[in-house]
Structure 1
Protein backbone atom coordinates (compact mmCIF):
# COMPACT_ATOMS: atom_id res chain seq x y z
CA UNK A 1 0.00 0.00 0.00
CA UNK A 2 1.43 3.36 -0.95
CA UNK A 3 1.18 6.45 1.18
CA UNK A 4 -0.67 9.42 -0.26
CA UNK A 5 1.31 12.38 -1.53
CA UNK A 6 -0.10 14.82 1.01
CA UNK A 7 0.73 12.53 3.94
CA UNK A 8 4.22 11.94 2.54
CA UNK A 9 4.85 15.68 2.23
CA UNK A 10 3.41 16.36 5.68
CA UNK A 11 5.88 13.86 7.17
CA UNK A 12 8.82 15.33 5.26
CA UNK A 13 7.71 18.83 6.28
CA UNK A 14 7.49 17.84 9.94
CA UNK A 15 10.73 15.86 10.05
CA UNK A 16 12.66 18.51 8.13
CA UNK A 17 11.04 21.38 10.03
CA UNK A 18 10.18 23.17 6.78
CA UNK A 19 8.01 26.27 7.05
CA UNK A 20 6.10 25.41 3.85
CA UNK A 21 4.97 22.31 1.99
CA UNK A 22 6.68 23.69 -1.15
CA UNK A 23 10.08 23.59 0.57
CA UNK A 24 9.44 20.03 1.72
CA UNK A 25 8.43 19.03 -1.80
CA UNK A 26 11.56 20.58 -3.34
CA UNK A 27 13.78 18.72 -0.86
CA UNK A 28 11.92 15.45 -1.46
CA UNK A 29 12.30 15.66 -5.22
CA UNK A 30 16.01 16.58 -5.09
CA UNK A 31 16.97 13.90 -2.57
CA UNK A 32 14.96 11.18 -4.35
CA UNK A 33 16.44 12.13 -7.73
CA UNK A 34 20.00 12.03 -6.41
CA UNK A 35 19.31 8.72 -4.66
CA UNK A 36 17.72 7.30 -7.81
CA UNK A 37 20.80 8.17 -9.83
CA UNK A 38 22.73 5.67 -7.69
CA UNK A 39 20.27 2.78 -7.78
CA UNK A 40 19.22 0.36 -10.49
CA UNK A 41 16.81 -2.45 -11.15
CA UNK A 42 14.63 -3.86 -8.41
CA UNK A 43 16.36 -1.82 -5.71
CA UNK A 44 15.16 1.31 -7.50
CA UNK A 45 11.77 0.07 -8.78
CA UNK A 46 10.38 -1.49 -5.60
CA UNK A 47 10.66 1.56 -3.34
CA UNK A 48 9.43 3.77 -6.19
CA UNK A 49 6.30 1.62 -6.45
CA UNK A 50 5.61 2.29 -2.77
CA UNK A 51 6.11 6.05 -2.96
CA UNK A 52 3.22 8.35 -3.76
CA UNK A 53 2.77 8.37 -7.53
CA UNK A 54 3.80 12.03 -7.76
CA UNK A 55 7.21 11.24 -6.19
CA UNK A 56 8.03 7.92 -7.87
CA UNK A 57 9.31 9.61 -11.07
CA UNK A 58 11.94 11.49 -9.05
CA UNK A 59 13.39 8.18 -7.86
CA UNK A 60 13.03 6.61 -11.30
CA UNK A 61 14.54 9.53 -13.23
CA UNK A 62 16.68 8.37 -16.15
CA UNK A 63 19.80 10.06 -14.83
CA UNK A 64 22.59 7.81 -13.65
CA UNK A 65 25.55 8.95 -11.65
CA UNK A 66 28.82 8.80 -13.55
CA UNK A 67 30.48 7.74 -10.34
CA UNK A 68 29.27 6.91 -6.84
CA UNK A 69 29.05 9.85 -4.50
CA UNK A 70 30.47 9.33 -1.05
CA UNK A 71 28.35 10.81 1.78
CA UNK A 72 30.18 14.15 1.76
CA UNK A 73 29.76 14.59 -2.00
CA UNK A 74 26.10 13.53 -1.77
CA UNK A 75 25.59 16.29 0.82
CA UNK A 76 27.36 18.86 -1.38
CA UNK A 77 25.36 17.80 -4.46
CA UNK A 78 22.11 18.02 -2.53
CA UNK A 79 23.03 21.45 -1.15
CA UNK A 80 23.69 22.67 -4.68
CA UNK A 81 20.20 21.64 -5.84
CA UNK A 82 18.06 22.81 -2.91
CA UNK A 83 17.59 26.57 -2.95
CA UNK A 84 18.73 28.12 0.32
CA UNK A 85 20.33 24.90 1.56
CA UNK A 86 23.82 24.66 2.96
CA UNK A 87 26.08 21.79 3.90
CA UNK A 88 24.92 22.38 7.49
CA UNK A 89 21.20 22.10 6.71
CA UNK A 90 21.29 19.34 4.09
CA UNK A 91 21.75 16.42 6.52
CA UNK A 92 18.36 17.42 7.96
CA UNK A 93 16.89 17.55 4.44
CA UNK A 94 18.30 14.15 3.49
CA UNK A 95 17.24 12.60 6.80
CA UNK A 96 13.70 13.93 6.55
CA UNK A 97 13.18 12.65 3.02
CA UNK A 98 14.95 9.30 3.36
CA UNK A 99 13.30 8.41 6.67
CA UNK A 100 9.87 9.20 5.18
CA UNK A 101 10.69 7.21 2.03
CA UNK A 102 11.92 4.32 4.19
CA UNK A 103 8.64 4.35 6.10
CA UNK A 104 6.77 4.15 2.79
CA UNK A 105 9.03 1.42 1.37
CA UNK A 106 8.82 -0.77 4.47
CA UNK A 107 10.46 -4.09 5.29
CA UNK A 108 14.08 -4.61 4.25
CA UNK A 109 14.18 -2.30 1.26
CA UNK A 110 15.96 0.54 3.08
CA UNK A 111 18.74 -1.90 3.99
CA UNK A 112 19.00 -3.04 0.36
CA UNK A 113 19.19 0.57 -0.79
CA UNK A 114 21.99 1.30 1.67
CA UNK A 115 23.97 -1.68 0.37
CA UNK A 116 24.03 -0.08 -3.10
CA UNK A 117 25.31 3.29 -1.94
CA UNK A 118 28.97 4.13 -1.41
Structure 2
Protein backbone atom coordinates (compact mmCIF):
# COMPACT_ATOMS: atom_id res chain seq x y z
CA UNK A 1 0.00 0.00 0.00
CA UNK A 2 1.20 3.51 -0.81
CA UNK A 3 1.12 6.31 1.77
CA UNK A 4 -1.52 8.14 -0.27
CA UNK A 5 -3.74 5.02 -0.13
CA UNK A 6 -3.24 4.74 3.63
CA UNK A 7 -4.21 8.40 4.11
CA UNK A 8 -7.22 7.97 1.82
CA UNK A 9 -8.47 5.08 3.96
CA UNK A 10 -7.98 7.15 7.13
CA UNK A 11 -9.81 10.05 5.49
CA UNK A 12 -12.71 7.78 4.60
CA UNK A 13 -12.88 6.14 8.06
CA UNK A 14 -12.58 9.43 9.92
CA UNK A 15 -14.75 11.36 7.46
CA UNK A 16 -12.12 14.11 7.33
CA UNK A 17 -12.91 16.97 4.97
CA UNK A 18 -9.41 17.12 3.47
CA UNK A 19 -6.50 14.85 2.66
CA UNK A 20 -4.25 17.20 4.62
CA UNK A 21 -6.24 16.72 7.81
CA UNK A 22 -6.25 12.93 7.41
CA UNK A 23 -2.50 12.97 6.81
CA UNK A 24 -1.85 15.19 9.84
CA UNK A 25 -3.88 12.89 12.09
CA UNK A 26 -2.18 9.81 10.61
CA UNK A 27 1.26 11.20 11.37
CA UNK A 28 0.35 12.19 14.93
CA UNK A 29 -1.22 8.84 15.79
CA UNK A 30 1.53 6.74 14.18
CA UNK A 31 4.16 8.84 15.93
CA UNK A 32 2.44 8.36 19.29
CA UNK A 33 2.09 4.62 18.67
CA UNK A 34 5.76 4.42 17.76
CA UNK A 35 6.64 5.79 21.17
CA UNK A 36 4.69 3.05 22.95
CA UNK A 37 5.04 -0.07 20.85
CA UNK A 38 8.26 -2.00 21.38
CA UNK A 39 9.78 -5.34 20.59
CA UNK A 40 9.46 -7.48 17.51
CA UNK A 41 5.85 -6.40 17.00
CA UNK A 42 7.00 -2.84 16.31
CA UNK A 43 9.43 -4.09 13.67
CA UNK A 44 6.86 -6.41 12.08
CA UNK A 45 4.28 -3.63 11.94
CA UNK A 46 6.78 -1.19 10.46
CA UNK A 47 7.43 -3.43 7.45
CA UNK A 48 3.69 -3.71 6.76
CA UNK A 49 3.12 0.04 6.71
CA UNK A 50 3.74 2.25 3.69
CA UNK A 51 7.27 3.68 3.63
CA UNK A 52 6.26 7.06 5.07
CA UNK A 53 4.27 5.36 7.83
CA UNK A 54 7.30 3.25 8.68
CA UNK A 55 9.43 6.40 9.04
CA UNK A 56 6.87 8.06 11.29
CA UNK A 57 6.38 4.96 13.48
CA UNK A 58 10.05 4.12 13.88
CA UNK A 59 11.19 7.73 14.21
CA UNK A 60 10.06 7.69 17.82
CA UNK A 61 12.10 6.40 20.71
CA UNK A 62 10.16 4.26 23.15
CA UNK A 63 8.78 6.00 26.20
CA UNK A 64 9.73 4.74 29.61
CA UNK A 65 6.21 4.41 30.98
CA UNK A 66 3.57 2.54 28.99
CA UNK A 67 0.25 4.36 28.74
CA UNK A 68 -3.16 2.77 29.06
CA UNK A 69 -5.46 3.13 26.06
CA UNK A 70 -7.19 6.09 27.69
CA UNK A 71 -3.90 7.79 28.53
CA UNK A 72 -2.72 7.19 24.96
CA UNK A 73 -5.82 8.96 23.63
CA UNK A 74 -5.17 11.84 26.05
CA UNK A 75 -1.57 12.08 24.83
CA UNK A 76 -2.80 12.29 21.23
CA UNK A 77 -5.37 14.94 22.22
CA UNK A 78 -2.53 17.03 23.64
CA UNK A 79 -0.80 16.96 20.22
CA UNK A 80 -3.85 18.06 18.22
CA UNK A 81 -4.89 21.68 18.50
CA UNK A 82 -8.45 22.00 19.77
CA UNK A 83 -8.89 18.26 20.34
CA UNK A 84 -11.03 16.82 23.09
CA UNK A 85 -10.76 13.27 24.43
CA UNK A 86 -13.77 12.34 22.27
CA UNK A 87 -12.35 13.79 19.06
CA UNK A 88 -8.92 12.32 19.81
CA UNK A 89 -10.48 8.87 20.33
CA UNK A 90 -12.14 9.26 16.91
CA UNK A 91 -8.82 10.25 15.35
CA UNK A 92 -6.91 7.41 16.99
CA UNK A 93 -9.52 4.83 15.98
CA UNK A 94 -9.64 6.15 12.42
CA UNK A 95 -5.91 5.58 12.02
CA UNK A 96 -5.52 2.41 14.09
CA UNK A 97 -8.38 0.63 12.32
CA UNK A 98 -6.41 1.01 9.07
CA UNK A 99 -3.24 -0.12 10.85
CA UNK A 100 -5.16 -3.18 12.09
CA UNK A 101 -6.02 -4.18 8.52
CA UNK A 102 -2.40 -3.95 7.45
CA UNK A 103 -1.17 -5.82 10.52
CA UNK A 104 -3.47 -8.82 10.12
CA UNK A 105 -5.07 -10.80 12.92
CA UNK A 106 -2.00 -12.60 14.26
CA UNK A 107 0.26 -9.56 14.51
CA UNK A 108 -2.57 -7.38 15.77
CA UNK A 109 -3.29 -9.86 18.55
CA UNK A 110 0.35 -9.77 19.62
CA UNK A 111 0.41 -5.96 19.46
CA UNK A 112 -2.68 -5.73 21.66
CA UNK A 113 -1.18 -8.27 24.10
CA UNK A 114 2.03 -6.23 24.32
CA UNK A 115 0.26 -2.93 25.02
CA UNK A 116 -1.46 -2.08 28.32
CA UNK A 117 -5.23 -2.60 28.59
CA UNK A 118 -7.53 -0.39 26.57
CA UNK A 119 -6.02 -0.52 23.09
CA UNK A 120 -8.13 -3.26 21.50
CA UNK A 121 -11.15 -1.02 20.93
CA UNK A 122 -8.89 1.66 19.47
CA UNK A 123 -7.85 -0.89 16.82
CA UNK A 124 -11.51 -1.80 16.26
CA UNK A 125 -11.33 -5.09 18.15
CA UNK A 126 -13.08 -6.37 21.25
CA UNK A 127 -10.88 -7.07 24.25
CA UNK A 128 -12.28 -9.92 26.24
CA UNK A 129 -11.56 -9.98 29.95
CA UNK A 130 -10.25 -13.21 31.35
CA UNK A 131 -12.46 -14.63 34.04
CA UNK A 132 -10.87 -16.23 37.09
CA UNK A 133 -10.95 -19.99 36.98
CA UNK A 134 -13.15 -21.68 39.52
CA UNK A 135 -11.64 -24.59 41.33
TM superposition score normalised by structure 1: 0.91
User: Could you tell me how far apart the structure 2 residues matched to 1:40 and 1:68 are?
Assistant: 10
Q: CA RMSD in A?
A: 1.2
Partner-residue secondary structure (3-state), 1:54:
helix
Change in Cα spacing, 1:56 to 1:19, as seen in structure 2 (3 Å) is same
Q: Aligned pair count?
A: 116
Partner-residue secondary structure (3-state), 1:76:
helix
Question: Comparing both chains, which one has the higher relative contact order based on Cα–Cα distances under 8 Å and sequence gaps of 6 or more?
Answer: 1
Q: By how many angstroms is 1:24 displaced?
A: 0.8
Deviations, residues 1-26 of structure 1 (Å, cap 9, x unaligned): xx111111110001011111111111
Aligned counterpart in structure 2 of residue 62 of structure 1, from 60, 63, 69: 60
Given that residues 27 and 97 in structure 1 are in contact (C-alpha distance below 8 angstroms), is that contact kept between their aligned partners in structure 2? yes
Residue equivalent to 1:87 = 85
Q: By how many angstroms is 1:62 displaced?
A: 3.5
User: Could you tell me how far apart the structure 1 residues matched to 2:19 and 2:82 are?
Assistant: 15
Given that residues 31 and 60 in structure 2 are in contact (C-alpha distance below 8 angstroms), is that contact kept between their aligned partners in structure 1? no
Runs of 4 or more, structure 1, over 6 Å off, are: none
User: Could you tell me how far apart the structure 2 residues matched to 1:83 and 1:110 are?
Assistant: 29
Q: By how many angstroms is 1:111 displaced?
A: 1.0
Change in Cα spacing, 1:58 to 1:105, as seen in structure 2 (3 Å) is same
Deviations, residues 11-61 of structure 1 (Å, cap 9, x unaligned): 000101111111111111111111111122310011111111011111112
Gaps (5+ residues) in structure 2?
A: 117-135
Residue equivalent to 1:112 = 110
Residue equivalent to 2:132 = none
Q: By how many angstroms is 1:92 displaced?
A: 1.0
